[in-house]
Amino acid sequence: MENPVDNIIRNMKLPATPKRKELIQAAYEFAKKAHTGQKRRSGEDYITHTVETAVILAKLGMGSSTISAGLLHDVPEDTATTLEDVEKKFGEEIAFLVDGVTKIGRIKLRGEQEELQLENMRKMFIAMASDIRVIIIKLADRLHNMRTLEFNPPDKQIRIARETMEVFVPIANRLGIGEIKGSLEDLAFKYLDPENFEYVKNLEEEQYTQRKRHLDTAVVELKKELLIEGIKTIDIFGRAKHLYRLFQKLKRHDMDINKIYDLVGIRIIVPDISACYEALGIVHRKYRPLVGRIKDYISLPKPNGYQSIHTTVFGHEGKILEVQIRTKQMDDEAEFGIAAHWIYNEQQKRSLRNFIFGKKIQVPQKELLWVKQLREWQNDLGTDNAEFMEGLKIEFFKNHIFAFTPMGNIIELPEDATPIDFAYKVHSEIGNRAVGVKIDGKMATIDCKIKNGQVIEILTSREHKKPSQDWLRFVRTSLAKSQIKKALRS
């Protein structure tokens, strides 16, 4: 029988050095001893859950400290072994992560009173701001719990599935962890709407079988074309859409599967960015593209960091399919999100040390801005839980757009943001002195909704030094609201 630790090591993205193996093995032995005699509802030994959590973390590219914390995450809460015992054996960093996960585990996300629920949600996101790895461990823990949800009573299945869809899916999305987001959505969908789940599942299986022949032929043809043109491909393969995402698209298209162009698609992985654009030209030379269906997320990434080129083409025998073109790093980041930065920091030997609660914690460079923004933002809002949660839904979980200054600088905003939100994002003085706006060179109203990719020019006046009270009615961002209130008070 395979040693569970070997399974964890085999799935690691980072090099499995002797030191890392030794740490993970020690954490496994410690957790196994602590959980001795404990069983899951499925009848399995409890340690299987912590091992599966650790495997998910290894697949995400997390380091040995985070994987070990994943193995130990239920020890202080569910056994006689204390957090002090964990710290004595494994040190401050791992104990800090285990403690963070334990605290989140105590948060009852669906409190009986709305105020209690808001306060608990707030605590969760403060924990998230302290060290993002705490939330990544919690996501891995939740994913395995969702995979074994069938062993829970029906009422608990619904409660956990709803909590997963409302809380953990948006977190995975904001962290850019596409694989976990898609898996959590599908697993929650199965319990929240079983009738539509079965309908979409059967529909996809039927359609995928019909379209697979054309997909396989297109993969062979494109591989051949790219080889002839001297474009090295790291990988090229077909993929199917996640069920819940397919259901969302079907609802937008009157449940007509024939209107869904990206049910099946091809992903092309190439070595670098220039090869992405060269490959796009070759794909379009081979297959005619659909007008208006080319999306360049490389030059203009999604707010969660997602990068790729998407194009929809008339493939083999005129069958429509989507082609995604990206580098290996972009693909890893699309699947593993912020977690992927640990892999690339390790490879580039450019890790950054950040001091959190007096402890040295390695944090990927690309993560710092997001975490810093979340921490500052929740501090700015003081103790107003309702405002915190409303802002959280808008600022972090709502779809985002990019707009440009006349100089070409990119400003990221939530959907439905207005020119006044844009002005305050550029500078508080520009917001306070705003008197009008030009969008793509034309005059517009200051309360209109900005669209993705527009160029926004804020018109200001030296005489105008104070915002209008009326602006509070239509601005969307917490930053704009707080700056307007501050200026009005002064």
- Among the listed residues 6, 22, 29, 77, the single catalytic one is 77
Tell me how far apart the alpha carbons of residues 439 and 450 are, in angstroms, rounded to a whole number. Answer: 8
- 8 in Cβ contact with 38 (< 8 Å): no
229 is catalytic: no
The amino acid at 308 = S
Verify whether residue 77 is a known catalytic residue. yes
- The two three-digit tokens of residue 400, written as one number: 């985002």
Other beta carbons within 10 Å of 198: 12
Token pair 């199965």: residue:
190
Contact between 280 and 268 (Cβ < 8 Å): no
**Count of Cβ atoms closer than 10 Å to residue 448 Cβ:** 12
Between CA 215 and CA 238 the distance in angstroms is 7
DSSP label at 313? Answer: E
* Beta-strand pair 352-356/434-439: unpaired
Greatest Cα-to-Cα distance within the chain, rounded to the nearest angstrom: 79
Q: C-alpha 131: how far from its chain's center?
A: 16
Query: For 201, what's the count of Cα atoms within 13 Å in the CB-facing half-sphere?
Result: 10
Considering the candidates 78, 87, 119, 296, report the single residue annotated as catalytic.
78
In a 10 Å sphere around its CB, with 0-12 CB exposed, 13-18 middle and 19+ buried, how is residue 476 labelled? buried
Q: Which two tokens stand for residue 331?
A: 């693909």
Q: Nearest CA to 3 among 20, 35, 25, 19?
A: 25
DSSP 3-state of 289: strand
Q: Give the active site residues.
A: 77-78
